[in-house]
DNA sequence: GATGAATGAGAATTCATTCAT
DNA sequence: GATGAATGAATTCTCATTCAT
């Protein structure tokens, strides 16, 4: 279903209504959705169930979200933003950093982030994905790539070539996707230092070599 | 419906597949499914529509597949196998190959493979994915990794270290997923030589550097 | 569907019965079901038809009952309870009773009860039956047998032997089933005094003779 | 398994060719139906399954029976006739019989008959029943009643009143139905001598007392 | 704003039966 | 007669969404 079919024309009586109730109700809905997703998968998710688990009336739920997709979408975006934030924090320069340290911290953040709430995360991403949210999914990684581009001077040795946009594209996607896939496959070395080292090595040689 | 909630306990008394006209009917069903998926997405797909477009009765359709999921699953597997086969062919040694040539050919095959039937492919993969087919999705890539492991002697210079299993894991996933994501995002340089070169470089430096 | 193949594993997230308008809606559904059963038999009964005749949406119907069987079951139980109540009332001691009078009244109640709504009753009992409700069907008769056991002192002459459990079993089933069968066969003497007398005699001689 | 079965079906199409193919096929169909009924109940029965289990093609099945009901009906009639025959044999005078002995033998035959193939029997009877076969179901009992009527002189003491038609009706139904119900309820004293004695007593007092 | 009963289009699936081979 | 692939009407049940209170 195309994104543009949502009845956005409806007056959004939600926004932040009373500040207190609104915020909490949305949170209850998110939590309920996550719980159902974790326990019963996407096929087991329906709005009536969400409302029930959230302890909110179905009517209220529709006061906060125009339709079911919107709930999943909002959650997906939030998830995406959280992880992006953590990666950005990891990439921030720290006193005593060697050039590769930020990369290592970012990789760690990704591994941790992708592992947490695995099933729910995956379903949310699929939802976003199947709604045509490709750009949206790519956005956090793009932002990180952009960040790296700006900090290339700091992160790379003077003699290293300034990375092209495409190179940053490939590198960020390679790292991000490899970790994501590994977490989905639930490989046994996912949390090993060796795996982290291997990814760090990928970054190092790919960036530094001519 | 998730696999774990499937009604497996139901009596499977359906007349077994492999009727006489099997081949063609199955093909008709696959084609119809692909066409509907391309035109209306996963949400627009229903068995009655498939049967109608395929020019087959709904009863017949259920003579060949036990349920809707099974159709998608079979298609997903086929898709996976096709691409894996193309990659394997690409990796086969050819006279006059330089060490990196097989990799380049494989990368080309992947780019071409992921681009073809993009939307349908994606939906099929999501289906497989959401049914817990993680292992299954990983299988083709694993097979390729295994193949590379066996041919390391041919492909790598004598002085290069024999790649560990983990290194092969990271490399194959990095390449595969980067191309996949790029095709989903439909980036503009997807079919450029520069992109291909960049990926070839990824393989080269990652394998050859210490 | 037999009880043992029922899909119990399905998520029962249906909004629980006892909605506000419950009483009337349930009644409408029961009436519609009875009407259809009477006119078209069990094979002519389907949930859409029930909803239509009841003037209720199909969705509402499923808000009150989890499936078609449940409707039939609830009706069967109610039918069973009604008749049992009538028989119990008939068995209650009345001033000026001769020892056999309660039995005669009970027999009358049974004949009347089994005759009313004949076809519908029969189908309901078959349903209950075919779902393994043997115990349930036997319950009302058992209760009556128990009641009789408790009142044996009142009902039997002092010199009569206190009836064994088995004797009560045989007697209650004999009477109940004979009337039931007669009503199904629709024999012509069903409402004759002679038939009633014959059954009364059965009770009398069976209880009083050594 | 599936393919194996299919092939076996094919090659077995020969075996007993001309001979009493008809007779045996019908038997195979009956057996298959009984087996399915026993294992999966009426809801689990469908013509394709019958054909499969019987090792007969669905087309053949329809060569022997015009529709599904007809199969059940024929089986029900056969079942009914079997039991009636056994009861008749039991009632036949035997040298050294006391007046009540035939009744006792008949009761034994009924208990045994109703216990055997319990579930299948029940479903067959329900089917016959729900198709309006009340008369048919009553026929065997009526025949027995008629037989008893003809033999009243032998069976009853000279001073006993000749039983009226209605009396025979009540007695035969009382005995038959009580045993039937007891077998459905699967009561624990079903096969006890006490139960048999109780029923014999029912017959005795009901017939002999004024 | 909240509630939750009601709605009903729509989807999956079944299975008795036919008929060309 | 036998075969079994094909048929498709019919049925159950779901669930996103609405709206009167």
Size of interface C-D (CB pairs under 8 A): 97
Contact in structure between A172 and A148 (CB atoms under 8 Å)? yes
pLDDT at B37 over 80: yes
**What is the rounded CA–CA span in Å between residue D49 and residue D69?**
15
Nucleic chain F contacts, protein chain D, residues 37-66, CB cut-off 7 A: 48, 56-60, 62-64
CA distance B11 to chain D (A): 8
Q: What's this model's pTM, rounded to 2 decimal places?
A: 0.82
Task: Spell out which residues of chain C touch residue B10, defining contact as CB-CB under 8 Å.
Answer: 5
Instruction: Give percent above pLDDT 70 in chain C.
Output: 86
Question: Closest approach of chain C CAs to the CA of D115, in angstroms?
Answer: 15
In whole angstroms, give the CA distance from residue B185 to residue B207: 27
Lowest mean pLDDT among B22-36, B50-64, B167-181, D44-58: B22-36
pLDDT confidence of residue B22:
61
Distance (Å, whole) CA D136 – CA D148:
19
Among A65-79, B149-163, D134-148, which is the least confidently predicted range? B149-163
The pLDDT of residue D21 is 62
- pLDDT value of position C105: 94
- Report the distance separating Cα C92 and Cα C89, nearest Å: 5
Tens digits of per-residue pLDDT, D12-47? 443 434 445 677 899 999 999 999 999 988 889 999
Mean pLDDT of C16-21: 44
Tell me the torsion sign for CA atoms C43, C57, A47, A58.
negative
Nucleotides on strand F lying under 7 Å from protein C-beta: 1-20
**Is pLDDT at B54 greater than 80 in this prediction?**
yes
The answer to whether the C-beta of A21 is closer than 7 A to strand E is: yes
Q: Do A44 and B122 touch (CB under 8 A)?
A: no
Q: Which long-range contacts (CB under 8 A, 24 or more apart) does C61-67 make?
A: C61/C29, C62/C14, C63/C14, C63/C15, C63/C17, C63/C19, C64/C17, C64/C19, C64/C22, C64/C25, C64/C26, C64/C29, C65/C17, C65/C29, C66/C12, C66/C14
Rounded Cα distance between A120 and A79, Å, is 10
Task: Please tell me the number of Cα atoms within 13 Å of A130 on its side-chain side.
Answer: 24
Q: Please report where in the chains the tokens 């087919």 appear, as a residue.
A: B133
Range in A7-11, B158-162, C135-139 with the lowest mean pLDDT: A7-11
Mean pLDDT calculated for residue range C97-116: 90
Q: How confident is the model at residue D174 (pLDDT cuts 50, 70, 90)?
A: very high
A163 DSSP assignment: P
Distance of alpha carbon D180 from alpha carbon C174, whole angstroms: 10
| Segment of B2-6, C11-15, C23-27, C112-116 carrying the highest mean pLDDT | C112-116
What pLDDT is attached to residue D131? 79
Distance CA(D199)–CA(A40), nearest Å, equals 57
Q: How far is CA C136 from the centre of its chain?
A: 10
Mean pLDDT for all residues in chain B? 84
Q: Which residues of D17-41 are buried (b: 16+ CB within 10 A; e: fewer)?
A: eeeeeeeebbebbbebbbebbeebb
Contact list in B for residue A205 (CB cut-off 8 A) is 205-206, 209
Q: Distance between CA atoms of B206 and A204, rounded to whole angstroms?
A: 9
> Across the A/C interface, how many CB contacts are shorter than 8 Å?
9
H helix intervals, C9-133: 22-40, 47-54, 58-64, 68-91, 101-115, 118-130
Reported as a single tens digit per residue, the pLDDT across A154-199 is 777 676 667 888 999 999 999 999 999 999 888 999 999 999 999 9
Pick B153 or D144 by higher pLDDT: D144
Q: Is the pLDDT of residue A12 over 70?
A: no
Distance CA B25, CA D195 (A): 63
Assign B154 a pLDDT band (cuts: 50, 70, 90). confident
Is the pLDDT confidence value at D1 over 60? no
Please give residues of chain A from 42 to 81 whose alpha-adjacent beta carbon (CB) lies under 7 Å from any atom of strand E. Answer: 48, 56-60, 62-63
């Amino acid at each position: 279903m195309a994104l543009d079919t949502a009845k956005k024309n409806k007056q959004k009586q939600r926004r932040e209504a009373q500040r207190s109730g609104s915020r909490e109700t949305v949170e209850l809905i998110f939590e309920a959705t996550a719980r159902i997703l974790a326990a019963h998968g996407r096929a087991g998710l329906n709005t009536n169930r969400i409302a029930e688990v959230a302890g909110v009336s179905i009517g209220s739920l529709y006061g906060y979200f125009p339709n079911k997709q919107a709930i999943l979408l909002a959650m997906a975006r939030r998830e995406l933003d959280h992880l992006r934030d953590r990666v950005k924090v990891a990439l921030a320069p720290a006193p005593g950093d060697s050039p590769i340290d930020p990369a290592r911290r970012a990789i760690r953040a990704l591994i941790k982030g992708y592992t947490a709430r695995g099933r729910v995360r995956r379903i949310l991403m699929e939802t976003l994905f199947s709604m045509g949210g490709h750009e949206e999914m790519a956005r956090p990684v793009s932002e990180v790539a952009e960040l790296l581009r700006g900090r290339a001077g700091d992160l790379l040795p003077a003699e290293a070539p300034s990375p092209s946009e495409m190179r940053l594209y490939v590198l960020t996607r390679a790292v991000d996707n490899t970790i994501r896939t590994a977490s989905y496959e639930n490989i046994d070395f996912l949390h090993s230092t060796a795996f982290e080292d291997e990814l760090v090595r990928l970054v190092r040689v790919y960036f530094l070599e001519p």
